[in-house]
Amino acid sequence: MYDDYYVLAAIGVTALAVAIGARLGDARRMRRSNPDAVGLVPWTTVFFAALLVMVVTGTFAVRLWLGR
């Protein structure tokens, strides 16, 4: 039904959205008014994990799309 590169591209776009959200969360955490109000989510780790998923799936999607 769907080609493999569509699925990989969808995963990559979703990972991009997560990475953007994590970057915004990290920026908000850095600007907090109370330095003792520590959050529960490690936004930097989430950002880099999503970025890694995005790069890997994007690379494979482009390679499949080009037929290599």
Contact 50, 18 (CB under 8 A): yes
Q: CA of 4: how far to CAs of 1, 13, 63, 64, 65, in Å?
A: 9, 14, 11, 7, 9
**Three-class SS state of 33:** coil
pTM of the model: 0.85
Residue 46 structure tokens: 């989430």
- pLDDT of 49: 98
Confidence of residue 2 (pLDDT cuts 50, 70, 90): low
- pLDDT tens per residue, range 9-64: 999 999 999 999 999 999 999 888 888 888 899 999 999 999 999 999 999 999 99
Q: CA of 59: how far to CAs of 25, 26, 51, 63, in Å?
A: 26, 26, 12, 6
- pLDDT of 1: 47
